[in-house]
Amino acid sequence: MTRDFRDLAEEYAGRVYTFARYSLRHQEDAEDVTQEVLVRLWKNHDQIDPAATSTWVMRVARNLVIDLARRRQSRAAVFAQGADVEEMAAQVPADYAADAAAERSSLRARLEGALAELNEPYRSIVVMREIQGLAYEEIATAMNMPLGTIKVYLHRARRRLRELVQTENT
Amino acid sequence: MTTDRNPDCAWVLENLDAFVDHELGEAGHAAVTAHCARCGSCTRELEMAIRVRKLLRTMPAFEAPARVVDAAEREIHTGAANVTALPARRAVRLVRSAAVMAAVLIVIIAGAWFVERQRVAREQKATEADVRRATAQLALAFDYVGRYSNGVVREEVLEKRVLPPIERAISRDPVSRDSAKPKTNQNGM
């Protein structure tokens, strides 16, 4: 059991944690969500189609993120808070941090700020698609939205990101 | 998508992401390229779209801390019936924090109480003047007893019944003890 659980955890923990970190921008909350997803994954893994495990995991993660956000003072306030960029930077893997330290540009900082300003579901879609590299179909399943809607939302999110980056630039 | 017309800026801007994603098709791709060749504004938008996309795709993925996987495993090992739901887990952490804060508060209050008690005890110690006054009153009392008892109260009675409790009371306080003895002797008691 331990080996199997460890295999599942190794495959999905990072993905869930990354999504939760960018969505909630709070380390402890992201850890809670990850732990809960792993527990639920283990409890249900016999019933989940192996080919659909990834989307199942992301859907549960997304639902938990929303639940957690709702439990905070208000969802809007949570998703509108400033990004904890410094805290996030401290968690970045060392090799990436070394590169980032050398190549970090003002555009990148502005982009992080812009991402933090995105409302839901735009931010989740951007994180899944652009940062985590999920396929449109996977995102649609995870978000429980039609494929076309995901594409439209992603398009809007990208355009909004560009606007925000350029606004901060002026 | 229609590409049989000369694309204007609005059409290009609407399709920038599709262009960057290579989802526009050959004709659409050529149309955007041709438009950007003569439109500085759209070219800047296109450059920004490419840079934002590139930066987003190089943003870091985080590795879940090992403690999270360990905690999940522990939770699973305790059995499905004991699995702690997300809100409850947070509640447990809150209760734990509250307990620690309460303990700290108790220590602080106990410390303050102890210090205050010490201060009050110090203030309650008799001063030298108090002891002198009490000793004088004691001498007066013994003098009174001696004068009106006509020898009924004998010296050994005084020594056995009267003096011991007084001495015991005085000896509890070092200041009283040091100051009282000479005074008592002075009055011949």
Which residue ranges make up each domain of chain B? 9-57, 83-122, 125-186
CB B32 within 8 A of CB B8: no
CB B64 to CB A31 under 8 A?
A: yes
Does the bond joining B165 to the residue before it have cis omega, within 30 degrees of 0?
A: no
> Chain A partners of B1 at a C-beta cutoff of 8 Å?
none
- CB contacts < 8 A, A to B, total 109
Query: Average pLDDT, stretch B66-90?
Result: 73
Structure token digits, residue B14: 């609407």
Give the model's confidence band at A5: pLDDT under 50 very low, under 70 low, under 90 confident, else very high. Answer: confident
Distances (CA, A) of A152 to A79, A130, B19, B54, B145: 20, 15, 15, 20, 110
Task: Return the axis-axis angle of helices B66-77 and A2-24, rounded to nearest 10°.
Answer: 130
Higher pLDDT, A154 or B119: A154
User: Residue A69: what residue type?
Assistant: A
Residue B174 reports pLDDT greater than 80 = no
- What pLDDT sits at residue A157? 92
Give CA–CA dist A92/A98, Å, rounded.
9
- What pLDDT sits at residue B2? 43
Give the model's confidence band at B81: pLDDT under 50 very low, under 70 low, under 90 confident, else very high. Answer: very low
Q: H helices within chain B, ranges in order? A: 9-14, 16-20, 25-38, 40-57, 66-77, 86-124, 128-148, 155-157, 163-171, 174-186
**B56: number of Cβ within 10 Å:** 18
Residue B156 reports pLDDT greater than 70 = no
Average per-residue pLDDT in chain A? 79
Give CA–CA dist B53/A131, Å, rounded.
10
- What pLDDT sits at residue A68? 84
Question: What is the DSSP track for A92-132?
Answer: S-HHHHHHHHHH--HHHHHHHHHHHHPPTTHHHHHIIIIIS
- What pLDDT sits at residue A56? 92
CB A141 within 8 A of CB A59: yes
Burial of residue A103 (number of CB atoms within 10 Å: 0-12, 13-18, 19+)? exposed
Burial of residue B163 (number of CB atoms within 10 Å: 0-12, 13-18, 19+)? middle
Structure token digits, residue A155: 């398009």
Query: Average pLDDT, stretch A3-11?
Result: 83
> Chain B partners of A108 at a C-beta cutoff of 8 Å?
55
Q: What are the tens digits of pLDDT across the range A64-114? A: 988 887 776 444 444 444 434 344 444 445 555 544 444 456 777 788 888
Walk me through the domains of chain A, giving residue ranges and CATH numbers. 2-169 (1.10.10.10)
Taking the alpha carbons at both ends of chain A, their separation in whole angstroms is: 56
SS3 B5: coil
Residue B85 reports pLDDT greater than 60 = no
- What pLDDT sits at residue A154? 92
Distance from A66 to chain B by nearest Cα, in Å? 12
CB B86 to CB A36 under 8 A?
A: yes
- In chain A, which residue's Cα lies nearest the Cα of B19? A155
- In chain B, which residue's Cα lies nearest the Cα of A155? B17
Half-sphere exposure at residue B124, Cβ-oriented, CA atoms within 13 angstroms: 8
Give CA–CA dist A82/B35, Å, rounded.
38
Query: Average pLDDT, stretch B142-155?
Result: 66
Label residues A51-74 b or e (16+ Cβ within 10 Å = b).
eebbbbbbbbbbebbbebbeeeee
Does the structure's ipTM exceed the value 0.90? Answer: no
Higher pLDDT, A71 or B104: B104
- What pLDDT sits at residue B86? 60
> Which element (helix H / strand E) includes A70?
helix A53-71
**A131: number of Cβ within 10 Å:** 18
- What pLDDT sits at residue B173? 60
Give the whole-number percent of chain A exceeding pLDDT 70: 76
Residue B141 reports pLDDT greater than 60 = yes
Give CA–CA dist A8/A3, Å, rounded.
9
User: Residue A112: what residue type?
Assistant: E
Give CA–CA dist B59/A100, Å, rounded.
9
> Chain A partners of B52 at a C-beta cutoff of 8 Å?
107, 111, 158, 161-162, 165
Q: Which residue has the tokens 């495993």?
A: B73
Between CA A65 and CA B45, with CA A159 as vertex, the angle to 5 degrees is 145
Give CA–CA dist A31/B64, Å, rounded.
7
Q: Which residue has the tokens 């108790």?
A: B106
